[in-house]
Chains A and B, each alone.
Chain A
Amino acid sequence: DTAVSQTPKYLVTQMGNDKSIKCEQNLGHDTMYWYKQDSKKFLKIMFSYNNKELIINETVPNRFSPKSPDKAHLNLHINSLELGDSAVYFCASSQVQNEQFFGPGTRLTVL
Chain B
Amino acid sequence: AQSVTQLGSHVSVSEGALVLLRCNYSSSVPPYLFWYVQYPNQGLQLLLKYTTGATLVKGINGFEAEFKKSETSFHLTKPSAHMSDAAEYFCAVSEEQAGTALIFGKGTTLSVSS
B-contacting residues of A (Cβ < 8 Å)? 4, 30-31, 33, 35, 40-45, 48, 50, 55-56, 58, 90, 92, 94-105
A105 and B43: CB pair below 8 A?
A: yes
- In Å, the complex CA distance between A32 and B32 comes to 18
Output the nearest chain A residue to B90 by Cβ-Cβ distance: A43
Tell me, yes or no, whether B46 is within 8 Å of chain A by CB. Answer: yes
B107 and A55: CB pair below 8 A?
A: no
Chain A contact residues: helix, strand, loop or mixed? strand
**Chain B's nearest CB lies how many Å from the CB of A107?**
8
**Chain B's nearest CB lies how many Å from the CB of A35?**
8
Interface size class on chain B is: 20 to 34
B residues 3-47 near A (Cβ < 8 Å) are: 32, 34, 36, 38, 41-46
Q: Which residues of B contact A44 (CB under 8 A)?
A: 104
Interface centre among A43, A92, A98 (most CB of B within 10 A): A98
Tell me, yes or no, whether B102 is within 8 Å of chain A by CB. Answer: yes
B99 and A42: CB pair below 8 A?
A: no
B107 and A42: CB pair below 8 A?
A: yes
B residues 33-64 near A (Cβ < 8 Å) are: 34, 36, 38, 41-46, 49, 51
B101 and A33: CB pair below 8 A?
A: yes
Tell me, yes or no, whether B100 is within 8 Å of chain A by CB. Answer: yes
A98 and B102: CB pair below 8 A?
A: yes
Q: Which residues of A contact B99 (CB under 8 A)?
A: 30-31, 48, 50, 55-56, 94, 98
Picked from B44, B101, B103, the residue with its CB within 8 Å of the CB of A90 is: B44
A97 and B32: CB pair below 8 A?
A: yes
